[in-house]
C-alpha cells in the first residue's frame, strides 16, 4: 500500500502520542470525519495501525517500518536537496544534524567531506557517517525514540547547549503560510530550538510536500534561518523569504 501524505503524518502522530482519534485528526487536517475513518481503515488493513473505538493505536513492534515508509516518500527530491546542501558545507567545519529522513540524506552527501565534526541526536545519521573515517561523530544522548532512532528530551538539549557550531542542518514536519516551522513532538522541538541557537548558520532541508502539511508545535520562523534547500517553494512564501533575506535554493531531480 502506497501511503498518502496525510496517512504518513497520521503515522507520525501515532508514534509520538501512542494513539490517534478521529475527531482530533479531522481538526488537524481540516477534513471530514469520514475521510479520517477511511484513512484509519486503510492503515489498519495494511497492518500499520490497530483500530480502536474512536481512533487507532500503534501495533507493537512496527514503528521502524513506518519510518522506512517515510524515507521512500519524495526520495529523488530529497537526494537532490541533500546534494545541494552538502555542497555548501566546507571541509574542516562543525555542524549539527537533527532527526529526519532529509537530514539523513544530507549525511550521505557528506561522506566524501574531510575533517568534519558532527553533533547529532539522530542515531541513523551517526551510523551513516561511520563510513567517513575523518568525521568526528558526537551523539547527543537522551531518551531513545525507537520509532526513528532519534534522541530527545532534556538531557539531549543540555548536551546540544555545550556546543557552538558552524552549521545546523535541520528538518521539520510542516511549514505554514506565515513561514513558521512546525512539528508534532514538543521534546523534539526543544532540541531543534537549541540546535538553532547554538549554530552560526542554519540550513533547512525540506521537500515541497511540507508546505502542504500542518503540525501543532512551533520550532522557529524561516526568518531565523540562513538558507532553505527545497525542490519547490510557494511563490508567496518565496517573497516573504526574500524580504527576510533568507536564501532559497531549489534543486531539480
Mean pLDDT for the stretch of residues 186-205: 96
Mean pLDDT for the stretch of residues 27-32: 92
Residue 2 has pLDDT above 70, yes or no: no
One domain for residues 29 and 121: no
Please check whether residue 67 is in contact with residue 147, taking contact to mean a CB–CB distance below 8 angstroms.
yes
Residue 61 has pLDDT above 60, yes or no: no
Residue 100 has pLDDT above 50, yes or no: yes
One domain for residues 225 and 180: yes
70-93 residue pLDDT tens: 666 778 899 999 999 999 999 999
One domain for residues 195 and 138: yes
Cα–Cα dist 173/155, whole Å: 22
Nearest to 136, CA basis, from 113, 152, 168 = 113
Q: Confidence class of residue 253 from pLDDT cuts 50, 70 and 90?
A: low
CATH number at residue 187: 3.40.50.1360
Q: Confidence class of residue 64 from pLDDT cuts 50, 70 and 90?
A: very low
One domain for residues 127 and 51: no
Cα–Cα dist 170/193, whole Å: 10
Percent of the chain scoring above 70 in pLDDT: 92
Residue 63 has what pLDDT? 47
Q: Which of 69, 85, 109 is the last residue of a domain?
A: 69
Percent of the chain scoring above 90 in pLDDT: 68
Distance of CA 65 to the CA centre of its chain: 17
One domain for residues 91 and 42: no
Question: What residue numbers bound the domain in which 62 lies?
Answer: 5-69
One domain for residues 178 and 113: yes
One domain for residues 118 and 150: yes
Q: Which of 53, 69, 85 is the last residue of a domain?
A: 69
One domain for residues 30 and 100: no
One domain for residues 101 and 29: no
Residue 221 has what pLDDT? 97
Residue 225 has what pLDDT? 98
Residue carrying C-alpha cell 537532490: 80
196-225 residue pLDDT tens: 999 999 999 999 988 877 778 899 999 999
Nearest to 117, CA basis, from 158, 167, 70 = 167
Please check whether residue 15 is in contact with residue 147, taking contact to mean a CB–CB distance below 8 angstroms.
yes
One domain for residues 11 and 96: no
Residue 60 region by backbone torsions, left for phi larger than 0, else alpha for psi between -120 and 50, else beta: beta
Cell of 73: 516518500
Q: Which of 39, 69, 99 is the last residue of a domain?
A: 69
Residue 108 or 4, more confident: 108
115-173 residue pLDDT tens: 999 999 999 999 999 999 999 999 999 998 877 889 999 999 999 999 999 999 999 98
One domain for residues 60 and 92: no
One domain for residues 176 and 160: yes
Domain count, the chain: 2
Residue 232 has pLDDT above 80, yes or no: yes
Amino acid at each position: 500500500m502506497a501511503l498518502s501524505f496525510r496517512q504518513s503524518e497520521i503515522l507520525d502522530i501515532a508514534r509520538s502520542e501512542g494513539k490517534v482519534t478521529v475527531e482530533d485528526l479531522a481538526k488537524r487536517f481540516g477534513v471530514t470525519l469520514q475521510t479520517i475513518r477511511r484513512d484509519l481503515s486503510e492503515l489498519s488493513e495494511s497492518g500499520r495501525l490497530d483500530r480502536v473505538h474512536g481512533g487507532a493505536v500503534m501495533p507493537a513492534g512496527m514503528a521502524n517500518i513506518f519510518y522506512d515508509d517515510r524515507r521512500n516518500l519524495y526520495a529523488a527530491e530529497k537526494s537532490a536537496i541533500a546534494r545541494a546542501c552538502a555542497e555548501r558545507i566546507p571541509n574542516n567545519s562543525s555542524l549539527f544534524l537533527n532527526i529526519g529522513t532529509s537530514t539523513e540524506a544530507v549525511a550521505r552527501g557528506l561522506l566524501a567531506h574531510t575533517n568534519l565534526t558532527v553533533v547529532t541526536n539522530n542515531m541513523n545519521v551517526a551510523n551513516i557517517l561511520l563510513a567517513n573515517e575523518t568525521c568526528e561523530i558526537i551523539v547527543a544522548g537522551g531518551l531513545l525514540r525507537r520509532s526513528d532512532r532519534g534522541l530527545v528530551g532534556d538531557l539531549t538539549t543540555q548536551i546540544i547547549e555545550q556546543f557552538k557550531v558552524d552549521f545546523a542542518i535541520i528538518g521539520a514536519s510542516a511549514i505554514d503560510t506565515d513561514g513558521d516551522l512546525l512539528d508534532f513532538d514538543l521534546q523534539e522541538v526543544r532540541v531543534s530550538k537549541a540546535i538553532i541557537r547554538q549554530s552560526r548558520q542554519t540550513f533547512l532541508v525540506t521537500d515541497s510536500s511540507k508546505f502542504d502539511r500542518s503540525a501543532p508545535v512551533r520550532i522557529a520562523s524561516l526568518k531565523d534561518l540562513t538558507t532553505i534547500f527545497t525542490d519547490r517553494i510557494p511563490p508567496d512564501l518565496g517573497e516573504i523569504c526574500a524580504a527576510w533575506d533568507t536564501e532559497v535554493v531549489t534543486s531539480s531531480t
